[in-house]
Amino acid sequence: MIKWVELPYKNTNNDATGDGFRGSMLYVTGGYWDPDDGCPSWGTSDPKRVRFIGDKAGKIRISFDDGRIFDVPLIFGYTLWYHAIWNERPTPFFDNDWNTAEPEYVEILKDTLYLKGGFEGEKTGILAVKLPAGNISCIEIVADKEREGRPVFGGAYIVDSNDALNNVKLTGGAVEIDTADPFYCGHTIDASAPLLHKVVSGLDQICERLHTYARDFREIPPYPTPGRFVFSGSPEANAATGIVAVNVANLVGRTEPDGFIHTSYKDAPSWRYDGFGPYVEKANSYYDAYYSRDCARAIMTLNSYGYTDKADSGVHLGNKWMMYYPEQKLTLGGKQIPGHFSVIPNKPLIYSTILVPQANWPTRYTKEKFGDEYCNLGNQETDGHGLMMMSAYKVWKNIGGKKEWVLDNWKYIYEAAYWIEWCLENPDLSFVEDGLLYGETEAAMSDWTLYANLPCYLGLLEYSEMAEAIGRTDESKRWLKAAGTIKGGIDKRLAKSDGRSWDLEHKGFLHDPAPYMLSDHYGFDTADMPEVWIDRSRNSYDEDICETKKASYYAPGGLGYGHSNATQNALILDEAHDASELVKALCRICYSPRLPEPYMVPEGVSVDPTRGILRRQGDLGNLVQQAETMKCFLLVSGISPVRNGVLKIMPRLPEGWAVNVTDFRAESGAFNVTLSASYPENGTQNIDVRLYAENPDALPADVKVRFGPFHTSQREATAVLNGKEYKIALKQTGDSNWGWLTVPAKELK
């Protein structure tokens, strides 16, 4: 007797399916999950939304009319599998063109995966289940209510003992099944003992290969070939040394002599945004793309770490691509479109001509509204435009603020600033509202956001300074006026009604961008930043960080936009406890000892913080995520860019850490710094600072060194600078007390 039934099945009529079955077999069809992925895009720290191999996700419940119930567990890698992403034939289970299959793990998976057709990537899998004798009354799929999504099973063949022994072909249902297929000889589940030890052991081995665990962080050896930055004091600190050394070298290496900075490094693998553990070798996801947001952040990082020539070349190449629109004489509303930075400057119209029609990217620039000119603007990458301006300014400051550089680049400086003026003057074309710039890419998504507007405001301040440096006073005043317009819009629309905190519904991306973007312009000391805006960020901080704290300080969602930006905010706002936990979590995210490039920054991460399991997501070494992560470690070390002739040293070390920085070129200064600092202990902190300059006149007059964090109950501390003790008064910022010591630079040579 063979019967096809739809699931869930209930024998309400006491039909033949329940009469006299002995040694029955059940062939259940389906075996995938909806949604067909391992996590949301970019990853998650919500255990309900991440699906690891080996995770239980429900059960097939088979009930008999005598009250017996048998549950077949639904486990990824055993009775459930993934389909769409699996068909990319990922490592370590397939060879592709690179001989990357690892036979040991191929055999383990083939042994543990009881879903026929799963390994082959077939659309419908089949589970064979051996049942005890009896009358089946019900078959149902019970999903784990604690998980997002549901297992997908369509139906089942119920086969009596005689037909099962005869190796028949099952027809009449949604799929045809050959019960004689040799697969079933070693992959039939016994409902009476549904989970064998070998399956559990095999899945554990696969997970050990693909994931990182909390136990991996108990002992991380010191990195053998460190660069200028050496962190110590904990396993995570040892990892940080390798993370900085590897990623800075990678960033330098991917920057071509002509200034092209590849958003993916050559042959970078990808775990895909919603992948489940295996990875695609040599994915080169964005190797051919120069993204404005990513490259701006990379230029700033190259500049900060002393690779000014590389940063300068990146600025020059981006500026040339910015001029595409006037060079092609493109118009909108009959008006010449100024040069501006699109999402991908080397592919200036890719959003308007490809993503809009093919991927339904949302836009207001329609043919109905703008006629044949509707594609000409490319897109509104407002934040990328402002960040590219900021990167150019930082390079200029780092080479000494030379007039010649401004004169040589004036065409591009003028054009970038004029683009913002043009937007403000033509709201019918740019959709400016209340002095705020509109954006249509990821940092705004058809909105007016802080992330998109703040860098344009800062970029105008900076370009005004450059204009003033060469006597272009009229342009300088114009750009200050335009900056004031944007500032007015920010204060009017992007703060809450009482003006005390930011409206985080319109922040853009994942965290309040004000502290970390202001630090790009003003340096690492909040005392130098606009007080009202920093106060708003302090008042918004708890709201901004609360979900991250709930997830054991993991903030995925693009490692730069998510975890690194949250980390930078905590560091800058002197929330020392949170910063300590976030930095340590950042090191854990980046350190994957059993995966390729074990110190490389991933694009995203999926974490189950309750079980201590981490999994890479997305593009390994993705440029903006890498650059933002490197900025975190600059903030930890604390050598702030020189501003107004003042050098500030303000380490923000995680608890128990120490840092040694050797021969580091101070940003915007013509001298090098060697720094050694340790975390305070028993009310005392030791910091050593040495300065070196070929020209002694290049040294600043004074150096300000900050000590901390200390407990808020402590009003005075012992500061040991270069072996000399000082008593310093302490003042609270953030959750801790800190104290300053000012010494003449000549004493630190």
Backbone angles phi, psi at 355, to 5 degrees: -70, -35
Statement: residue 522 has pLDDT above 70: yes
- Please report which confidence band the pLDDT of residue 188 belongs to, taking 50, 70 and 90 as the band edges: very high
Q: In percent, how much of the chain has pLDDT > 90?
A: 94
The predicted-structure confidence for 357-398, as pLDDT tens digits, reads as follows 999 999 999 999 999 999 999 989 999 999 999 999 999 999
pLDDT in tens, 409-464: 999 999 999 999 999 999 999 999 999 999 999 999 999 999 999 999 999 999 99
Looking at residue 178, its pLDDT comes to 93
**pLDDT for the residue 431:** 98
Tokens standing for residue 388: 């590219």
1-12 burial string, b = 16+ CB within 10 Å, else e? ebbbbebebebe
Instruction: Report which of residues 97 and 509 the model is more confident about.
Output: 509
Q: Which residues contact 555 (CB under 8 A, 6 or more apart)?
A: 45, 510, 511, 547, 548, 562, 563, 566, 567, 582
Q: How confident is the model at residue 100 (pLDDT cuts 50, 70, 90)?
A: confident
Per-residue pLDDT, 22: 54
Cα–Cα distance, 40 to 606 (Å, whole number):
9
Q: Is 60 in contact with 28 (CB distance < 8 Å)?
A: yes
What is the reported pTM? 0.96
Domain chopping of the chain, boundaries: 2-210, 306-494, 647-748
**pLDDT surpasses 50 at 205:** yes
Q: Which amino acid is at 518?
A: L
| pLDDT at residue 18, rounded to an integer | 45
What's the rounded mean pLDDT across residues 152-177? 84
Q: Give dist(CA 155, CA 2) in Å, integer.
A: 13
3-state secondary structure of 743: strand
**Taking the CB of residue 20, how many other CB atoms lie within 10 A of it?**
11
pLDDT on residue 2: 87
Q: Which of 460, 79, 442 is nearest to 291 (CA)?
A: 442
Distance CA 641, CA 664 (A): 11
What is the band of 14 on the pLDDT scale with cuts at 50, 70, 90? low
User: What's the angle, vertex CA 123, arms to CA 117 and CA 126, rounded to 5?
Assistant: 45
- pLDDT category at 165 given cuts 50, 70, 90 is low
* HEC profile of 375-393: CCCCCCCHHHHHHHHHHHH
Rg (CA), the chain: 30
487 φψ region: left (φ > 0), alpha (ψ -120 to 50), beta (else): alpha
Q: Is the pLDDT of residue 19 over 80?
A: no
User: What pLDDT is attached to residue 223?
Assistant: 97
Residue 13 reports pLDDT greater than 80: no
Average pLDDT of the residues in 20-28 = 75
Alpha-carbon distance of 633 to 228, in angstroms, equals: 12
Of the pLDDT bands very low, low, confident and very high (cuts 50, 70, 90), residue 21 is low
Q: Give mean pLDDT, residues 267-278.
A: 97
Let me know the angle formed at the C-alpha of 189 by 183 and 190, rounded to the nearest 5 degrees. 135
pLDDT reported for residue 17? 47
> Under a CB-based contact definition with an 8 Å cutoff, are residues 571 and 635 in contact?
yes
> Is the dihedral angle over the CA atoms 88, 90, 94, 99 positive or is it negative?
positive
Is the pLDDT assigned to residue 15 strictly greater than 80? no
678, pLDDT greater than 90:
yes
Average pLDDT of every residue of the chain: 95
Residue 23: pLDDT over 80: no
Q: How confident is the model over 111-118, as a mean pLDDT?
A: 98
- Band (pLDDT 50/70/90 cuts) for residue 20 is very low
Token pair recorded at residue 130: 């051996």
Res 504 pLDDT > 90? yes
pLDDT digit string (tens) for 330-348? 999 999 999 999 999 999 9
Q: How confident is the model at residue 163 (pLDDT cuts 50, 70, 90)?
A: low
